[in-house]
Amino acid sequence: MKSIAGRLFFVGALLGVGATTASAQANHFRGSACIQSVTAGCAAVGVTRGMCYDSRLRPPNYNGGPNTTRISFFLPYFANNFTLPTGTLVGATFKQVNATGLGQSVTTYAAQARIPAMTPAAPAPATVYVSATVDINGFDSDAPTCNVRLYFQGQRYPF
């Protein structure tokens, strides 16, 4: 009886280690993004050049992840997420993204985004740092003509 219990404990411990290793696999980059430029439509909602956000970027197919691009920007009391359901935002072409704002409520709205420059353009699993220029037209749900350019720098997470 003790040997069966011991074996079950050993198998459980092995499965637990495997689950921890798998869940610890890097799947996005965390860092900061600062606004480099804004259009006049941003003034009404207080989005200004120089604002910085805690940010997350998940490139498509990164380290076994899904073929979606997601980028999020966080302030203490508000967050925005922009998701391209399939493919990459890297390139010169703006693409329609699913935009979500979270403040006192959740708001979904239309926006377009692109990443005209990202280094590296397609991160490998061993990539530690990513930097990117991000353009978003329709950055804020309350100001559809608020267009911004941000600069993102991040480190893979979990490291």
Could you tell me which residue, 15 or 4, shows the higher pLDDT?
Answer: 4
Amino acid 2: pLDDT: 52
Q: Residue 43's pLDDT is what?
A: 95
Per-residue pLDDT tens over the stretch 41-90: 999 999 999 999 999 999 999 999 999 999 999 999 999 999 999 999 99
Q: What is the 3-state secondary structure (H, E, C) of the chain?
A: CHHHHHHHHHHHHHHHHHHHHHHCCCCEEEEEEEEEEECHHHHHHCCCCCCEEEEEEECCCHHHCCCCEEEEEEECCEEEEEEECCCCCECCCCEEEEEEEECCCEEEEEEEEEEEEEECCCCCCCCCEEEEEEEEECCECCECCCEEEEEEEEEEECC
Give the residue extent of every domain in the chain: 26-157
Per residue in 89-130, pLDDT (tens digit) is: 999 999 999 999 998 899 999 999 999 999 999 999 999 999
pLDDT of 25 reads 83
